[in-house]
Amino acid sequence: MSQQRRPLIAGNWKMNGLAAAAAEEIAELRRLLKEKETPACDVLICPPATLIAALAAAARGSSIAIGGQDCHANASGAHTGDIAAEMLKDAGATHCIVGHSERRADHGETNAIVKAKAEAALRAGLTVLVCVGETLAERDGGKTLSVISDQVKNSLPQVASAATTVIAYEPVWAIGTGKTPTPEDVAAVHAHIRAELKALMNDSEAVRILYGGSVKGSNAAELMAVENVDGALVGGASLKAADFWPIIETVI
Ligand code: 13P
């Protein structure tokens, strides 16, 4: 954690959440956040697209931001089932995740596609969270840092800046498995990402680099204390305010 970068704790609800229960979770999160006068971190929830408008309304006036989980590279057109970044923005989103490993794996998204989506998100005025991370085979093969370099260099838009771009390091093998890298391993990858960013951006020191993959209340403090870890991207433990709050509490 660093003094110069405001932590961001983001929840990725993936394909989970129906309207009534989701609104209750936001209300509960609002209540918990209100107990802190000025929370020293940003809080973001990325629900399924069907809930963005309702949750943006439920979060209005609070410090909770709402984001999308993916966007199309184009602003409109014949792309059945897809959602443009402009539409996310129109529904009340301020952020968008791109390049999540589940999108890369399930939908064949390459770095080039991720980059085009990130550019679209920035064009629409959204803050973009670009995900990177190695598979278990890549880690076991000693390729972690080269895979991360490749993803960072080729998924980030040229116009990326610290104000509008966040990197999320999510080792694929740590997502939903209960396994996490050691703090030393996280430190090594985050330092590597920081070094890569330096070659790509003028304000690389101000870019927030989140860790994601099996973050929960019981391991968040240890992970958030690692150098160059500026917050978390949380899946399962973000679905319930009661599970998400202890993670937020480690940085406020
Ligand atoms: P889990 O926290 O459920 O491991 O998911 C992490 C993730 O993929 C967030 O984007």
Q: Is the CB of 104 under 6 A from ligand 1?
A: no
126 CB-near residues (< 8 Å, 6+ apart)? 67, 68, 71, 85, 88, 89, 93, 94, 95, 96, 164
**pTM for this model (two decimals):** 0.97
In-domain check, residue 142: yes
* pLDDT per position as a tens digit, 200-218: 999 999 999 999 999 999 9
In-domain check, residue 173: yes
Residue among 8, 9, 12, 46 whose CB has most ligand 1 atoms within 8 A, to mutate: 12
In-domain check, residue 220: yes
Q: How many domains does the chain have?
A: 1
In-domain check, residue 14: yes
The pLDDT assigned to 120 comes to 98
The pLDDT assigned to 34 comes to 86
Query: Which atom of ligand 1 is closest in space to residue 174's alpha carbon?
Result: 4
- Domain span at 154: 8-249
175, amino acid identity: I
Residue of minimum CA distance from atom 5 in ligand 1: 235
Q: What is the CATH number of the domain that holds 103?
A: 3.20.20.70
In-domain check, residue 161: yes
Residue 58 has pLDDT above 70, yes or no: yes
In-domain check, residue 3: no
Average of per-residue pLDDT across 241-246: 97
* pLDDT per position as a tens digit, 106-159: 999 999 999 999 999 999 999 999 999 999 999 999 999 999 999 999 999 998
Distance 243 CA to ligand 1 centre (A): 13
CB of 93 within 8 A of CB of 67?
yes
Angle, alpha carbons 123-124-126 (nearest 5°): 100
In-domain check, residue 2: no
In-domain check, residue 204: yes
